[in-house]
Amino acid sequence: MNTKVKRKGLALATCLVALAVSSAILISVTAFELSTRQKVAQISRESKAYYLANSAIEIALAAILQGDLANVPKNLTPYAGAEVSINVLELKKDEFQIDVISVVVLDDRKPIRVSMTRKVLIKAEAGKRSLQFIA
């Protein structure tokens, strides 16, 4: 009878140890998953800011090619939580510098800011205007 009591206690101890180990594994997997989700959300916000800045450069380039610098918007708000500012400077005749800053704030988090600068030269060949990027 004494050995049966020891076996019952051993089974309970084994179950408690197994429960503790599985709980620890579950907690670590959950923490890892939450960390991964936060990283993915951060990368998503950074990508949005980058592509907004790239789009603003494209808008400025289109206006430069059309010779219509007066209609380049200075500030854009494409959607809630996103702002883009565009500044086009004429450095020399047919040479321009485009400065863009995009800021994305989503879900009341820290703003993501991306700034880009591109220098372009306008070339006219056979009546067509083309762009050449300057390093």
Residues of the chain scoring pLDDT < 70: 1-8
Question: Which one, of 69, 112, 37, 19, lies nearest residue 11 by Cα?
Answer: 19
pLDDT of residue 5: 55
- Say what the pTM is: 0.73
Q: How many residues does the chain have?
A: 135
Distance CA 27, CA 115 (A): 39
Tens-place pLDDT, residues 65-75: 888 888 899 99
- The count of structural domains within the chain is 1
Question: Which one, of 86, 106, 85, lies nearest residue 43 by Cα?
Answer: 106
Distance CA 78, CA 58 (A): 14
Domain that holds residue 44: 2-134
pLDDT of residue 68: 85
- Sequential DSSP letters for 5-45: HHHHHHHHHHHHHHHHHHHHHHHHHHHHHHHHHHHHHHHHH
Contact 122, 98 (CB under 8 A): no
pLDDT of residue 2: 60
